[in-house]
Structure 1
Amino acid sequence: MRSIPHLSSALARTALRGAAPLMAAACIAGFTGQAVAQAAVDPSVDLAPLTQQWLDDAVSRNQTAGMPLRMEVSVGALDSRLRLAPCAKVEPYLPVGARLWGRTRLGLRCVQGATAWNVFLPVTVKAYGPAWVLTSNVAPGAVLTANDATEAEVDWAADNTPVMANPDLWVGLVASRQLVVGQALRQNMVRAPHLFRAGAQVKVMAQGPGYAVTSAGQAMSAGGAGDSVRIRMANGRIVGGIVGADGTVEVAL
């Protein structure tokens, strides 16, 4: 296993003040796609050194500037039952749809040999960075406070859902499900408090080019700021919209 040093503390502090979920998304996006690299290897030696070097280089190239993450890449083993033909040149590549984040795989194909072959090697990419870890259990629907979590270093790549590294992003929000002590807070674990319940009368604002019309409708589900909800209008028509900070449902026409 090799560790890629984290970025400067100044950059880390700047990142912590920003939107951590966006940073995590950018990091994941930066590790997707295909990369092409070729290297001459002795077919009698293990492929692990070539693979490890390719992965370390790929992670270093793609690490987003400003990310307060300490990357670690580890290479698994090929199926021991495989018997690969000698090959003078092996090309590592990232399979379509794969990404260097969490448990993934790397392709290895022979591009110069008497017999062409293509195999997949399991790899694990860990991204250690600051996060907020729960210090007690939190019941569904409970409002989170600053006392519910403490800052710690966790593996962001242990889950595809972005972490919430800035307390401003989760303090005052509501637990969307049962949360357990030791969990790192992530986006899918919290939601905005409900501003209205299902069946409530809500204000609906329909906007179009150069105009805005306000009316009332009945909410078909509970809704909080930023939620997408459906509203039944007085004429029976069902419209969809986004809940604003004041509970108004904004519908684009």
Structure 2
Amino acid sequence: MIIFVLDFVISVAPLFFLHLGGKFAVGSLAGGLSSLAHAVALTISIFFAIYPKASTNFARPSLYALPWSSYVVFGALSYVAGNAVLFMTYITIPIAEGWLAKSHPFAASSLFSLIFLVNTVVLSILLDVRLRADGLDYHEARLRDGGTHAVVMASVMLCLLIGFTLVTVHFGLDAPPISWSVYTFIVVLFGVLGFVMGYLVPSTAEAYIESNKLIRKSSALDGNLLGWAAPASQPIVKP
């Protein structure tokens, strides 16, 4: 919920500094709904980074290697899901004529959905590194994870903004008159978002996954399982 709200705020914030009119005007409805769609898609990308590791062995690391094939599978699923969310939003909301998302919604959604793919893969790797370390201090290395993901998200957003300009010109459209200071502001904001995700998500997910492993081991050893700590779908083993 924290990341969902933060992403929504970060997506909306630049709109207050754009002051664009004419064919690049951004209405409050279009800006709000597109920001909401981005937050939903980002949340889905986090889901694909965490849930498979909590529910399948396919996505979990071994002592000797990271699950590279799972990064491909769930990264692709994250990309497709994010693309679908953005595309449906772009073809539904009222967008000014000058924007790429108006005349070429699939191209715009396909471009900006790359950030969801990267988010899933990087969070998955950060979580797997933690799981392989098998540490007991879940607060350890949070700053490292946050800093790593901050650099990744800021770099990806920079590339997407450059790509957005190039694709817009490629389709024969005018690039929106947005100053480089605003672009820099957007990159910094997504760096902050990346730091928060890297700081919170891998450590929290690790704590959840490891606690469930301990519960299952306890159940296997003495037949005593804490009912309140078991998922609803997991049968309680009785002595």
TM-score tier by shorter-chain length is under 0.3
Higher RCO, 1 vs 2 (CA within 8 Å, ≥6 residues apart): 2
Task: Point out the structure with the larger strand share.
Answer: 1
Bigger radius of gyration among the two: 1
Normalised to the residue count of structure 1, the TM-score between the two structures is 0.26
Task: Point out the structure with the larger helix share.
Answer: 2
Normalised to the residue count of structure 2, the TM-score between the two structures is 0.27
